Amino acid sequence: MQRDSRLPFSRAKLLKMAGTCLLSLSVLSAASAADQAPIKLVVPFPPGGSTDIASRIIQPKLAEILDRNVIVENKPGAATQIASQYVATSRPDGNTLLVSFDSHSINPIIRPLPYDTFKDFRGITFALRFPLVIGASKETPANNLKEFIAAAKKDPDKYTYASTGAGSLNHLAAEDLKRQAGINVLHVPFGGGGPVIQALLGNVSNITFLSYAALSSHIASGNIKALAVTGTNRLPDLPDVPTVQESGYPEFEAYSWIGIFAPAATPTDIADRLTSAFQEALNDSDVKNRLTKLGFEVMATDGPAVDKYAVEQYQRWDKFVKETGLSLSK
């Protein structure tokens, strides 16, 4: 039987074309599914902390700008390693982002990690930074930092400070202040901000270095006294509380910070789109006002800026630990 010459394609060619069309549709379908999947902001702490609070303030505006569902997913544990490794090994499609903390730069100083902090992530934005507030228990005989340092010099070894754990920023910042002030205050590490606050409320420890967001209600109630702020400027809600620099230590500065990171292989066009969306969300007047009231300073940089800042913070604290011989194991 002869093939009908009016048919321009053979059966094999038609099948090949059909297969190609199906493959194209499959690729388009996968891309469409990725576009419609929720964007996860992975927070390496339980709900209620500074990173979680900031993420939930940004979340609705980010979802509106991207016209996508955006969810906050808490993955606490192992000093932020669980969340970090989860994001580092996630598909680089822009749908899984790490809401990182100052521990991002400090962890490589302390311990071996199952990922490379500076190679396995791509910066999206240096979102926020915030100073710590030096808070004191009601029973501590000081109403400002100068008075506390004077008391600590008068009675060496009498006072203690509580931190959220060895190697945390509040541990390192307290040790830096001890060195500059020439005082000896015993470090008492706890397993998070909640226990630290309880230690001050119960007068188990004298002072701590925590975010204003964590301490604000206790300062307002008078149960914790604000002695100083670790940034270069006073906080709007604490206009009468001086900075550490104003208290006699002009070289002292310590900021906690929040950066957004994606897996390293995330394509540039996706990363740039996310950067623009975060910048717009962070600079929205309502979002910015809510963050500022809690002591956050909006930075909203591009991706390379947060990558650079993370390295600079690593270098700063790595040098400090080596110079002082500070133990980060307890």
Q: Which amino acid is at 324?
A: T
Note the helical H segments in the chain: 11-36, 50-66, 81-88, 103-110, 145-154, 169-181, 193-201, 212-221, 268-282, 285-293, 303-324
pLDDT score, position 7: 47
pLDDT score, position 125: 98
> Strand 70-74 and strand 96-100: pairing?
unpaired
- Total Cβ atoms within 10 A of residue 55: 26
pLDDT score, position 148: 98
Would you say residue 243 has pLDDT above 50? yes
Would you say residue 11 has pLDDT above 70? no
End-to-end CA distance of the chain: 88
Q: Which residues pair with 41 in a beta bridge?
A: 72, 97
Would you say residue 232 has pLDDT above 70? yes
Measure the CA–CA gap between 11 and 253, rounded to whole angstroms. Answer: 75
- Model pLDDT for residues 110-142, shown as the tens digit of each residue: 989 999 999 999 999 999 999 999 999 999 999
The predicted model gives 165-181 an average pLDDT of 94
Local structure of residue 115 (DSSP, 8 states) = S
Share of the chain above pLDDT 90, in %: 77
| Domains along the sequence of the chain with CATH | 37-129+255-324 (3.40.190.150), 131-229 (3.40.190.10)
- Model pLDDT for residues 194-226, shown as the tens digit of each residue: 889 999 999 999 999 999 988 999 999 999 999
Residue 16: which pLDDT band, with cuts at 50, 70 and 90? low
Would you say residue 18 has pLDDT above 80? no
